[in-house]
Amino acid sequence: MGKPSYFSMEYIRSIDIKWPAAFLILAIYINSGVHKLTPVLYYSKYNDIKMGVVSILEKIVTFLVIIAFGMAGTMKIYPFVPEVYNDMREKFVTYCPFCPTVHFGYTPPPVTYMRVVGMWEILCALALLVSSDLKSVASFILSVIMTGAVYSHIMVNDTKGAPLPGVLMIMCLFLFVRSRSARIASQKQKND
């Protein structure tokens, strides 16, 4: 019959959901600042600056980015779902000629390249999860990784695979801009 679609009910039922569940629960616990802000949902701690939709959108985007990169990075490092792992390994064979290190004369083995990308995705997702100070660095690194993913998909003529990394890249750039502007605003407040 062929490979099952990743969005079919048979495939979804066949996935062992225990491994991302722990990451999801941890992300909800650490990143759920919304329940602490319920009495003052529309005002910040200074009560004169409105939080607005953008701050709530930032929390939602942060949560989605943590989940997306935590799960994707974990799947690239360890074969929890062998079909997905093997499919990614096959795709990374075609992506290796477009690795940035090729310009310096080194073409990494596909599995090594896949695991290094997965390691960076997990580290950046954890940095987004744990520290607001590392948010700008982690979101910048993830946006660079997704820029490379979009480039790789375009170079191998995989037009169906390019939009998702593009959307994730935009989300990471949004988080980068928001974290940088928050850091500049806090430094400006310290100086005043």
Q: Rounded to a whole number, what is the distance in angstroms from the first to the last CA of the chain?
A: 68
Domain span at 151 = 19-191
- For residue 1, being part of any structural domain is answered with no
Do 81 and 15 touch, CB atoms closer than 8 A?
yes
- For residue 9, being part of any structural domain is answered with no
- For residue 118, being part of any structural domain is answered with yes
- For residue 26, being part of any structural domain is answered with yes
Q: What is the pLDDT of residue 118?
A: 94
Computed over every residue of the chain, the mean pLDDT equals 78
Q: What is the pLDDT of residue 34?
A: 43
Q: Which residues contact 8 (CB under 8 A, 6 or more apart)?
A: none
- For residue 115, being part of any structural domain is answered with yes
Q: What is the pLDDT of residue 181?
A: 84
Mean pLDDT in residue range 66-79: 92
pTM here?
A: 0.71
Q: Which residues contact 86 (CB under 8 A, 6 or more apart)?
A: 79
Q: What is the pLDDT of residues 6-33, one digit of tens each?
A: 444 455 445 544 445 545 554 554 455 5
pLDDT-derived band of residue 186, with 50, 70 and 90 as boundaries?
confident
- For residue 13, being part of any structural domain is answered with no
Q: Which residues contact 169 (CB under 8 A, 6 or more apart)?
A: 143, 146, 147, 149, 150
- For residue 143, being part of any structural domain is answered with yes
Beta strands in the chain (DSSP E): none
pLDDT at 47 over 50: no
Q: What is the pLDDT of residue 35?
A: 41
Give the CA angle between residues 72, 181, 127 to the nearest 5°.
Answer: 30
Q: What is the pLDDT of residue 57?
A: 86
The C-alpha atoms of residue 15 and residue 109 are separated, in whole angstroms, by 28
Q: Tell me how long the chain is.
A: 192
Q: What is the pLDDT of residues 75-132, one digit of tens each?
A: 999 888 888 889 889 999 999 888 888 888 988 899 999 999 999 999 999 999 887 7
Lowest mean pLDDT among 61-70, 115-124, 153-162: 153-162
- For residue 61, being part of any structural domain is answered with yes
The percentage of the chain sitting over the pLDDT mark of 70, rounded to a whole number, equals 73
The percentage of the chain sitting over the pLDDT mark of 90, rounded to a whole number, equals 35
- How many domains does the structure of the chain reveal? 1
